[in-house]
Amino acid sequence: MTEESYEVPRLSLAERDRRYRLVREAMDRTGLDVLILPANVSRWEQMMADSRYITTIGGFGTETLTIFPHEGAVTAYVFNRAPFWRAAQNWVADVRDGRNHWSDNVIERLGESPAPRRIGISGLAGLVRAPDGIVPWTTVERIKAAFPASEVVDATRLIQDIRAVKSDEEIALMRRSAAIIENMIRAMTETAREGLRERDVYAAMVQTLLTNDGELPSMLIFGSGQGIASGRFLPSSRRLLRGDLIANEIEARYAGYSAQAVAPLSIGPAAATYSDMLNVARDAFESIRETMRPGEKIGALMDAYVRVIERAGPGKYKWAHPMMHARGLGDESPALLSDDDLERFRGVELVAGMTFIVKPRARGEHGSAQIGDTVVVTPRGGERLGKRDLSLIVVE
């Protein structure tokens, strides 16, 4: 099979050079000689974003460990079938079979050059959805033993901060993801009918993801029921009933990048109380989106959310976490998932090119309603990547 026959999405070499320059400038500031980016496919491969950011290698369960030196060639280790990945991308020439012997792989590669003075490992701690880190203790200890004169430090924030602001090429991939998501929403709308199983609707959405060039694994939270407020992480064989709501969080990975949408659906007309709550949530979305300009702080977005909830009627509705979190190649920051996150990120200023799923929820006496879409920060305010009407979907 020739290289041209591998139809894997590619980014430009100019984008590669931009990323490498930013990472090496950050390594200069922190005194790092080499950066280790771990292989970890947990949470729909979200935990391997750093490695994929540097190599573009990933998808469908591919595990990729990356060694990124301050000077010299980048090396990527995959479990096996390295020749495929050498041919399927043009960012990294040195792709090797590693067989998941990650500490051996790191020791082998670092042993080919003078011992580094300072080794940075991303993923030791502090990830949004993995605060305890994703790197095995054994891996760190073996690297320390092999290079006793080297200092090993946590480099998680270094690359997360760079990844937080997306380039035009990255935003284009996010737009492609958003378009796939809207095709998945269309498939859900056309399939969801009284008497069908959740699995039937879920299967139609996944088929649409794949036929539109999306990749697996990709997060799709989905659930149905009377008055249901949130979806589940797996579809059931439950059959849909008239009056059911379908709650969801829909992502579509394209070249590793995932936008997200929250698109509630009702089998038959929804209760007036639910429709009212959803309208409040939509108003909150618009208020937050309009505030999303460079220089605004995360706290200002939260304040906009609270004002809409309070205007809906004193004590009638409450706001709820999560309001929003960054989207992109994987586990992104910043994210407002809890009160602690709000305290930590309130003063963070928005930068043009940041991308978020904005999904406010209005919570009332008899339940709650949520709606959302992916938004990119621009000087004109937040720009939705989705194009659909942001309202409840009703099918008969």
Q: In the 3-class helix/strand/coil scheme, how is the chain assigned residue by residue? A: CCHHHCCCCCCCHHHHHHHHHHHHHHHHHHCCCEEEECCCCCCCCHHHHHHHHHHCCCCCCCCEEEEEECCCCCEEEECCCHHHHHHHCCCCCEEEECCCCHHHHHHHHHCCCCCCCEEEECCCCCCCCCCCCCCCHHHHHHHHHHCCCCEEEECHHHHHHHHCCCCHHHHHHHHHHHHHHHHHHHHHHHHCCCCCEHHHHHHHHHHHHHHCCCECCCCEEEEEECCCCCCECCCCCCECCCCCEEEEEEEEEECCEEEEEECCEEECCCCHHHHHHHHHHHHHHHHHHHHCCCCCEHHHHHHHHHHHHHHCCCCCCECCCCCEEECECCCCCCEECCHHHHHHHCCCECCCCCEEEECCEEEECCEEEECEEEEECCCCCCEECCCCCCCCEEEC
Distance (Å, whole) CA 373 – CA 85: 33
- pLDDT surpassing 60 at residue 92: yes
Per-residue three-class SS string for 10-64: CCCHHHHHHHHHHHHHHHHHHCCCEEEECCCCCCCCHHHHHHHHHHCCCCCCCCE
Residue-wise pLDDT for 13-67, tens only, equals 999 999 999 999 999 999 999 999 999 999 999 999 999 999 999 999 999 999 9
pTM of this prediction? 0.95
Query: What's the pLDDT score for residue 366?
Result: 84
Extents of the domains making up the chain: 3-163, 168-395
Dig out the tokens for 270 from the structure: 């929804």
Q: Quick count: other Cβ atoms within 10 Å of Cβ 65?
A: 27
What pLDDT is attached to residue 2?
A: 42
Dihedral angle over CA of 161, 167, 172, 174, nearest 10: 10
Model confidence at 9, pLDDT cuts 50, 70, 90, reads confident
Q: Place 253 in a pLDDT band, splitting at 50, 70 and 90.
A: very high
Q: What is the pLDDT of residue 3?
A: 44
The pLDDT assigned to 6 comes to: 61
pLDDT band for 326, please (50, 70, 90 cuts).
very high
pLDDT on residue 295: 98
- Given pLDDT bands bounded at 50, 70 and 90, which one contains residue 275? very high
Residue 386 pLDDT more than 80? Answer: yes
Banded model confidence at residue 313, pLDDT cuts 50, 70, 90: confident
Q: Please give the share of the chain, as a percent, with pLDDT higher than 70.
A: 98
pLDDT of residue 1: 35
Superfamily of domain 3-163: Creatinase/prolidase N-terminal domain (3.40.350.10)
Q: Which CATH number fits domain 168-395: 3.30.420.40, 3.90.230.10, 3.30.499.10, 3.40.50.11540?
A: 3.90.230.10
